[in-house]
Chains A and B, each alone.
Chain A
């Protein structure tokens, strides 16, 4: 989407571009950080994932995904994460559209309203929902007050999806809002000028131009939803078992770090595969747009 910048006399500013001899050391802390918190843990996960208790190579940790319980947990995680992502998208797009259409002052205020909950602790927010949804919780107390039948809200897939949507909605709104607010008002005017009505303009211009925001929003909601275990623990009450919970239990309840790591690798493969699938439907990121390929 980037506009080409015409380069003028680029070579003239050479003194600025010359590197300070010590400049490479500035990257040192970051390298150290990446090594300590990304590379080493990854290596460890792969080590545990491909070995058994006797430190011998094995595929069995990875193939344990074939276990019916694990397979069910993965399928359910994919299902709930997909549902949460779709709900987030349906909620976030209109909100982002309204925000982008507002004057800068009021849009900042309303954007703040959506971001504000993020300033509170994630765990706290989810526990708050637990209190709201519980069988003797706030909602059922209100229902009882009006002599309405109580509802089972907690420990259902719906409660888990609600928790995902509530927690991850801002991650969908923000990228879409950012992309929408960058669309030139005159581009939309041009579409209207060429005969498109408001809906046609939205479908043919605004929506396609906002695709990068939608895609990063989907990524930012789908991945944490797929891997979550905290939301399921608090709002699923042990009745909803997602792959994230299975992995957590393998580690925390001391069953097997090897199996836990193996399942983590499988989950990583699913995340990468779903990202690749999204990228496939996004011709802009393929970079083949210039040469006339569609």
Chain B
């Protein structure tokens, strides 16, 4: 997990003079499950296409194991892509689809047969070889696309939102399938998605992108618990996001009240952003709370209740297994550890989504 397999250096790309990627730098380690996560138009698919060789960057270089592959044609690259759309070859049987890459490389018939058999087994579709793509369901078609790619033994598999067309249940099943597949194959996966839950479930590393720039790189835990700016905080999970003032180290003022926190190094009396996750909003009796508010709505969500609490003119979202009835005055207390302080955005693409 330590070697840099792919280095992306200073990649910029514009379409019709609209910048899509701006001086992007990133490296991908061997055997990593890396997810490019961001809203549509953030440049994640363009970056994947540059890696696959389908788009040429305006500036910058792509190094693969130290070699420059920026100008290499897609068919010469040691990586394969699983597309968002169903791109199976409809005039060929499933087995011929999977065998396509191997036939191009001129492998022997018995070898191809073995590999096709193995790939079908790996994606759990044994015996589907003789069928034709138009007899497959959406989930099966995506599995065959994956089989068609991995049969070539790529060092890296690029996946462009491969599950986005599937229904929720199937999508969740396929997420676990993909993790299993990656472990069995022992190769690098670069996965593109706008679905934060998908990213959190599957990834070793998440790269959050917005406006053609990387907002944060980290493990799913890092990204969720320690978002570096309001965009990341807002995009990943639910959250209460505040304009706040850092009074001094470990003390922050938001909505006129002072809260203890654990963050240091933000200076004194500096404007900052603060995020508090709904599950970290503790509902206590009014006397015990740092601030008090009134419950304005309660929704049962299965595992927890989602409550809207109006306190100091802000609608807090709180998740709790204990329910406070609508109209009740409650106190809000936050564990200092659960207050995440972030620098104010320097650029506008770090602004929160809600402000757009």
* Residue contact A194 to B149, C-beta cutoff 8 Å: yes
Q: In chain B, residues 65-102, which have Cβ atoms closer than 8 Å to a Cβ of chain A?
A: 73-75, 80-81, 83, 85, 87-91, 93, 100-101
* Residue contact B91 to A208, C-beta cutoff 8 Å: yes
In the assembled complex, which residues on chain B have CB atoms less than 8 Å from the CB atom of A289? 132, 134
Is A189 in contact with chain B by the CB < 8 A criterion?
yes
In the assembled complex, which residues on chain A have CB atoms less than 8 Å from the CB atom of B347? none
In the assembled complex, which residues on chain A have CB atoms less than 8 Å from the CB atom of B101? 194-195
Is B121 in contact with chain A by the CB < 8 A criterion?
no
- Across the two chains, which residue of chain A brings its CB closest to B100? A194
In the assembled complex, which residues on chain A have CB atoms less than 8 Å from the CB atom of B137? 6
Is B148 in contact with chain A by the CB < 8 A criterion?
yes
Is A187 in contact with chain B by the CB < 8 A criterion?
yes
Is B109 in contact with chain A by the CB < 8 A criterion?
no
Partner of A195, one of B85, B87, B152: B152
| Count of B interface residues, CB-CB < 8 Å | 30
Is A4 in contact with chain B by the CB < 8 A criterion?
yes
- Across the two chains, which residue of chain B brings its CB closest to A293? B130
* Residue contact B87 to A189, C-beta cutoff 8 Å: yes
- Across the two chains, which residue of chain A brings its CB closest to B84? A186
In the assembled complex, which residues on chain B have CB atoms less than 8 Å from the CB atom of A200? 104
* Residue contact B93 to A197, C-beta cutoff 8 Å: no
Encode A188-209 as 1/0 by CB contact (under 8 A) with B: 0111111111001000110011
Min CB gap B130→A, angstroms: 4
Encode B247-271 as 1/0 by CB contact (under 8 A) with A: 0000000000000000000000000
Min CB gap A194→B, angstroms: 4
* Residue contact A196 to B135, C-beta cutoff 8 Å: no
* Residue contact A193 to B134, C-beta cutoff 8 Å: no
In the assembled complex, which residues on chain B have CB atoms less than 8 Å from the CB atom of A1? 90, 134
- Across the two chains, which residue of chain B brings its CB closest to A208? B91
A190-B87 contact in complex given A195-B105, A195-B152, A197-B75, C-beta closer than 8 Å: yes
Is B304 in contact with chain A by the CB < 8 A criterion?
no
Partner of A4, one of B75, B93, B105, B135: B135
| Count of A interface residues, CB-CB < 8 Å | 28
Partner of B83, one of A186, A196, A197: A186
Most chain B beta-carbon contacts within 10 A, residue among A191, A205, A211: A191
Is B43 in contact with chain A by the CB < 8 A criterion?
no
Encode B202-213 as 1/0 by CB contact (under 8 A) with A: 000000000000
* Residue contact B134 to A2, C-beta cutoff 8 Å: yes
Encode B50-68 as 1/0 by CB contact (under 8 A) with A: 0011100000000000000
Min CB gap A199→B, angstroms: 11
Is B131 in contact with chain A by the CB < 8 A criterion?
yes
* Residue contact A193 to B90, C-beta cutoff 8 Å: no
Is A290 in contact with chain B by the CB < 8 A criterion?
yes
- State in angstroms the CA–CA spacing of A194 and B97 once bound together: 10
- State in angstroms the CA–CA spacing of A200 and B135 once bound together: 26
Min CB gap B86→A, angstroms: 8
Most chain B beta-carbon contacts within 10 A, residue among A1, A186, A197: A186
- State in angstroms the CA–CA spacing of A187 and B104 once bound together: 16
Min CB gap A214→B, angstroms: 13
Partner of B85, one of A184, A197, A292: A184
Min CB gap A286→B, angstroms: 13
* Residue contact A292 to B130, C-beta cutoff 8 Å: yes
Q: In chain A, residues 204-235, which have Cβ atoms closer than 8 Å to a Cβ of chain B?
A: 204-205, 208-209, 211
Is A16 in contact with chain B by the CB < 8 A criterion?
no
Encode B92-132 as 1/0 by CB contact (under 8 A) with A: 01000000110011000000000000000000000000111
- State in angstroms the CA–CA spacing of A264 and B134 once bound together: 41
Is A284 in contact with chain B by the CB < 8 A criterion?
yes
Encode B172-201 as 1/0 by CB contact (under 8 A) with A: 000000000000000000000000000000
Is A147 in contact with chain B by the CB < 8 A criterion?
no
* Residue contact B104 to A194, C-beta cutoff 8 Å: yes
Instruction: Known pairs A189-B81, A193-B80, A196-B104; list 19 more (Cβ under 8 Å).
Output: A3-B134, A187-B87, A187-B88, A189-B52, A190-B87, A190-B148, A192-B74, A193-B52, A193-B81, A194-B75, A194-B101, A195-B104, A195-B152, A196-B75, A197-B73, A209-B91, A289-B134, A292-B93, A294-B93
Q: Give me the interface of A with B, judged by CB distance under 8 Å.
A: 1-4, 6, 184, 186-187, 189-197, 200, 204-205, 208-209, 211, 284, 289-290, 292, 294
11 contacts between A and B (CB under 8 A): A190-B83, A191-B89, A191-B100, A192-B54, A193-B75, A193-B80, A194-B104, A196-B100, A196-B104, A290-B132, A290-B135
